[in-house]
Structure 1
């Protein structure tokens, strides 16, 4: 990725004009940008470990990547041809070895330190990282990148490497294609064309290539920037990882690679650019909450800051650059930049495994210092013994044997890594399946709490392997709008021919009652119409949020659902009435009360069900299956009831103002008097951190029927 220290002279084209124009100082090696790369990654590491924020360093890194890579491609074109296969080989040789080593270490650490219930996701993300589609994997699941905690994947940070790899491939294909077209057009251009367009022959293939690339990249930058700006306000969870939204950042660096050799700024302006650039990079993480607004317009802060530092030192020898650039070009900064890539790869998994072992959300000063020290040592070793032997040609200090040994070692590790992850995915997929009807004599489930049913000795069902597939029916059937789907999706359950209608409305916590309602609907002949969207309880708020991010799709989806409910007039609307409070217990957000008012204004009768407990410790979510697989039991993997639920239903007070609203609470069928366990009546309650398994939901049908009967009056 670094700019080459030499350029081959451009061959003059025959014609009426002089030799092609060649940019000044095109081959000057930018040591200061090596140092800037090190500073950018150092900020990423510090902000991840100590502040739980996005620093903007990755955005700087993407700009520099585009600058280095495009400069290299254009110089190769000047020397003859870009060479797509050779460039791909060189790029993969530079990027993959360190990646393979880190991925292998993460897989080994996951096997040793994590319960086997998490291995499947680690295997999936290993493959996604290895083949550079990790960003899409995370976008599809809308993973939370606000801060590190033990529930976060140790490979989540590799989304940026996937964006970088995809950007490299796109830029390589564009430059190679445009270079070939330019050479072909000039080679076969007629004399008349030379007279009519003399500028083409004066510029020569290299100059024409630069102009053409500037136009193409400029158009893509504008389109990508507008797309990213729109995505911030519509689907930021997807937008953050989207390659198309991120494309303008590396392409901004590409445009700088094309333009910088021609830019000659006065000394005073260069000094101002340098100081402003480094200051903006240093404070960017405090100025904006990057995970909520990048790569939209707010990302102009780190991108323009990187551009300012690139332009400040452009066309100048190191000794003649601004003071900031000279400091960045000092040996310690350049050395840090040399293993910045490896440092980025190592720091995040070490942080996540550390937090998992100490069961905390933050590393603290001492813990963070240890993490950084270990990361630096591993990054240096990876750079010294893996990256350099495979990137640098054999020398007396680096014999060919070292290159061969490093290549064989990394290749062997890579093959074993790929084979093991594929094998695990193949074998594990056979174990994940929904559980069928369970014998109530062996598996009383909720009846053990509500009716003191006898609980015989029997293996827990679903098992920890079966649980992830034992989900509510709408998700299984594609009848719930996902995080990035605005469309209202409806499906019918229960007795599909019954005249009486219960509309189940809201998010996945309304959805997980469908298995129980399905039984009641078939028994008592009523139809269930679902209006569900992930992460979206029904809302009338203008600024709907999910995981701290704007979620306008939820607002628009809710507005359409309210209109449809008003038009279709179901007999009853079933939705959640509470949610967990950040400081423990549960609560009724004001938005829920506003929704009750909106439903009442539309003449709708509402059943509001109190939400079930969410598994959390120290504010950190955890899965019951992970805890059980790690050696915990039904009690130790659960929560104290006082931590999960308030002493009284918090919806009771505000609900008194709404005669159309009737409350029900089934938490006595989920929790014991003092404890909310994760297994009752031999049935696992949760398939993840907070959603009921379909099996346990079905066991709740009798109690749900008892509480609904006096309200609905249908049986």
Structure 2
């Protein structure tokens, strides 16, 4: 079923593939949502590839040869991918600042190696990279999932075929069905569990997505035809097509997939497959298959399906590069239409002149007839030249990516000297606080050094990641001291460790860390990740543990943040979830050093931006900064609660970061932020004096 060799091919499913990818592109470009089209595409990939392999495995006497299959996959998938990656590399150099080239190099290598989904999963779990701009290669995660599935499924089927044919004989079919059914159920259960635990990471997980491809493979192999009344087939097809078309509008796939809601696009795709599952039907004839399937089998939809892969590859990078060039966060109707039109043209050219000539003749994975050169040999000069060119481009892209990564690594090797910069030449915050005069010198850290200018506690692994709910304690400052400050909360509390460590060594107190990425001390039942506002249930679990631990340890002071930026208006606020924390500390007679949060660099639309990106793109310290009134209220919100909580001791370092009316990207020759809202370790060292003055005023631990 579904092969040209058998004389029957599901042209309607080619059309469905075209519709699915068109929905992906349209929802990406105009609505910024997930349409469910990728899930349909995964099902169809499992149906075509997995179903064909299973049918071969279930046919006695048919040999399964892995090398031809892998060769066919390489010819089918890599050429178009290499072309798009090469074009994206050129556009990255022309449009993106140098600070983004490393991320592109990493993701380019991940895309070529078909582990882009895991690269993105790691990025989603890495709070220090959570604010990075959207990658022009982000969409290739689904291609990586498919590539991994193809190889794993091929190995599974070949290995199982050898075993089942020998042990089960005619009952091998049952063995395959049981094995794949168990794997499908296991993957689906895993997807549900992981979706609840860490949806952002689960979204890219091959294990959480495998069930979608496995279902397609099972249907493709064991349901060659169905005998159902036409009215039932038509009803199923209409419902399925309506579900696919409306899925993106009704379901927030970004947050809900690959959990149970993914059953909607997956189930709809399977319904459309089954609605025309008739060995004796032809999608081009009338009256034998449902009308929706006949519609999908018409020339426009089949043509769209033929270039679906290339269209998927092209539309996303073109959109991202256009937004980067214009500085916008979204496109209007005309701009979006232009992006889609250019994507369509490039997709057709790529399909016609790259994909088709290099496809394997007779491949069941092909969606259009293979172009055959009018010569006896299947591989003649034009094809050899094309294949060689694509291979050389892939090698050049790989070599260039590795070279740039090594270049950046060598530059960051100089980062060790940042801790010893002259305070007279690089005063940083001292230029604001003490009105110091200083010579004009190249900014440090440089825009390429900034990424690694992070607190020692991060490098030491002293902050729990998103998945970890354990309380990790590390000690800094004077480790032998008897006086203790507990540094507690998320990374916005953590970045103060650089200054606190210096002060602890200087004035003989120790700092013990109680930190978790993106998780402030709060009594909220459903806290949100600091920075992207996605649900963070493990933050609540960690808070329950950490509060008990801090209270049991009884430090002299707890140092933590006391404010957050407003998400809906300018300025900052003290969240209500913090009040329960202050009350618990007050009830246990533990004073709190309540630090006002540092300003977040955000655009007018509220999206964070990296000052280092702006500087690398030709901006200056002022143009890459932000008005103070947009990120800080005139009045520190913490002060409103001092009467209610006498042990709450407000600290405010805003004047060490911002001028009276403006927060610049750099002060005193020092870059302030290493990302959009974390202070660079170098600048934090320059704030130690003022921070010490404020802490001393509260604690009286050392003389003025």
Task: Give me the TM-score of the superposition, normalised by structure 2.
Answer: 0.93
Deviations 1:616-675 (A, max 9, x none): 112222212111111111111111111221221123224442222111110101111111
Q: 1:82 to 1:682 in 2, by over 3 A?
A: same
Conserved? CA contact 2:51–2:218, under 8 Å: no
> How far apart, in 2, do the equivalents of 1:368 and 1:602 lie?
58
Q: State the match for 2:5 in structure 1.
A: 6
Shift of 1:143: 7.2
- Is 1:46 aligned with 2:41? no
Match of 1:382 among 341, 350, 361: 350
Alignment partner, residue 56 of structure 1: 36
1:245 is matched with 208
Structure 1 residue 469 and structure 2 residue 468: aligned?
no
SS of equivalent to 2:224: helix
Could you tell me which residue of structure 2 aligns to residue 357 of structure 1? Answer: 325
Q: Which residue of 1 aligns with 2:367?
A: none
Q: Structure 1: how far apart are the matches of 2:24 and 2:132?
A: 19
CA spacing shift, 1:602–1:64, aligned 2, 3 Å: farther
Hey, what does 2:364 align to over in structure 1? none
Partner of 2:543: 558
2:461 is matched with which residue? 478
* Correspondence for 2:498: 515
For residue 637 of structure 2, give the secondary structure of its aligned residue in structure 1.
Answer: coil
Shift of the 133–150 alpha-carbon distance from structure 1 to 2, 3 Å rule, reads closer
What does residue range 75-114 of structure 1 map to in structure 2 within 5 Å? 75-77=55-57, 78=59, 80-114=62-96
Question: Which stretch of the first structure deviates more once superposed, 451-460 or 271-280?
Answer: 451-460
Separation (CA, whole Å) in 2 of partners of 1:225 and 1:392: 33
Q: What secondary structure, in the 3-state scheme, does the structure 2 residue paired with 1:490 have?
A: coil
Tell me the distance in 1 between the aligned counterparts of 2:524 and 2:202.
Answer: 22
* 1:586-665 equivalences in 2 (<5 Å): 586-618=572-604, 619-665=606-652
Q: Are 1:699 and 2:682 matched, yes or no? A: no
8 Å contact kept, 1:142–1:483: no
Residue 281 of structure 1 is aligned with which of 240, 244, 255?
244
Equivalent-residue separation in structure 2 for 1:262 and 1:501 (angstroms): 73
Using a 3 Å threshold, how does the CA distance of structure 1 residues 675 and 88 change in structure 2: closer, same or farther? same
Shift of 1:268: 2.1
Query: Alpha-carbon deviation of 1:580?
Result: 1.7
Give, in whole Å, the separation in 2 of the partners of 1:149 and 1:538.
Answer: 21
Please tell me whether residue 525 in structure 1 is matched to residue 525 in structure 2. Answer: no
Tell whether the 8 Å contact from 1:470 to 1:695 is kept in structure 2 after alignment.
yes
The question of 1:677 aligning with 2:657 is answered no
- CA distance 1:654–1:81, shift in 2 (3 Å): farther
Q: Which residue of 2 aligns with 1:122?
A: 104
2 CA distance for matches of 1:506 and 1:32?
Answer: 55
Q: CA, structure 1 residues 397+113, in 2 after alignment: closer, same or farther (shift >3 Å)?
A: farther
Q: Does 1:264 align with 2:231?
A: no
| Partner-residue secondary structure (3-state), 2:524 | coil
Contact kept? 2:55, 2:221, Cα under 8 Å = no
Cα distance change of structure 1 residues 290 and 408 upon mapping to structure 2, 3 Å threshold = same
Q: Tell me the alpha carbon deviations over residues 412-463 of structure 1, each in whole angstroms, 9 at most, x when there is no partner.
A: 2111111111111122211124322211111111111111112222221111
Residues 49-68 of structure 1: per-residue CA shift (max 9 Å, x gap): 11111111111111111111
Counterpart of 1:451 (choices 434, 449, 466) is 434
Residue in structure 2 matched with residue 132 of structure 1 by the alignment: 114
**1:255 matches 2:218:** yes
Q: Which runs of 5+ in 2 are unaligned?
A: 362-370
Deviation at 1:28, TM superposition (A): 2.9
Q: Distance in 2 between matches of 1:392 and 1:297?
A: 37
SS of the residue 1:247 aligns to: helix
Q: Which residue of 2 aligns with 1:432?
A: 412
Partner of 1:18: none
CA RMSD of aligned residues (A): 2.0
Q: How many residues align?
A: 674
Q: Report SS of the residue matched to 1:528.
A: strand
Match of residue 539 from structure 1:
522
Contact kept in structure 2, 1:236 and 1:550, CA below 8 Å: no
Q: Report the equivalent of 1:17.
A: none
SS of aligned partner of 1:123: helix
Alignment-derived partner of residue 301 in structure 2: 333
When structure 1 is superposed on structure 2, of 28-37 and 176-185 the one drifting more is: 176-185
> How many angstroms apart in 2 are the aligned matches of 1:212 and 1:37?
30
Deviation at 1:150, TM superposition (A): 9.1
Q: Distance between the aligned counterparts of 1:172 and 1:235, measured in 2?
A: 29
1:149–1:356 CA contact under 8 A, matched in 2: no
Question: Kindly tell me: are residues 683 and 99 of structure 1, through their superposed partners in 2, closer, same or farther at Cα, counting changes over 3 Å?
Answer: same
Residue 38 of structure 1 aligns to a residue in which SS?
helix
Structure 1 alignment gaps of length 5 or more: 8-26, 187-199
Counterpart contact for 2:107–2:119, Cα < 8 Å: yes
SS of 1:651's equivalent? helix
CA distance in 2, matches of 1:568, 1:185: 62
Cα gap change, 1:549 to 1:150, in 2 (>3 Å) = closer
Distance 1:149-1:625 versus aligned 2 partners, 3 A rule: closer
In 2, Cα distance between the equivalents of 1:259 and 1:451? 78
Matched-pair contact (CA < 8 Å) for 1:639–1:677: yes
**1-structure distance, mates of 2:228, 2:645:** 69
Which residue is 2:372 aligned to?
395
Q: 1:687 to 1:180 in 2, by over 3 A?
A: same
Alpha-carbon separation, structure 2, partners of 1:397 and 1:647 = 77
Q: Provide closer, same or farther for how the CA distance between residues 656 and 105 of structure 1 changes in structure 2, counting only shifts above 3 A.
A: farther
8 Å CA contact 1:150, 1:356 repeated in 2: no
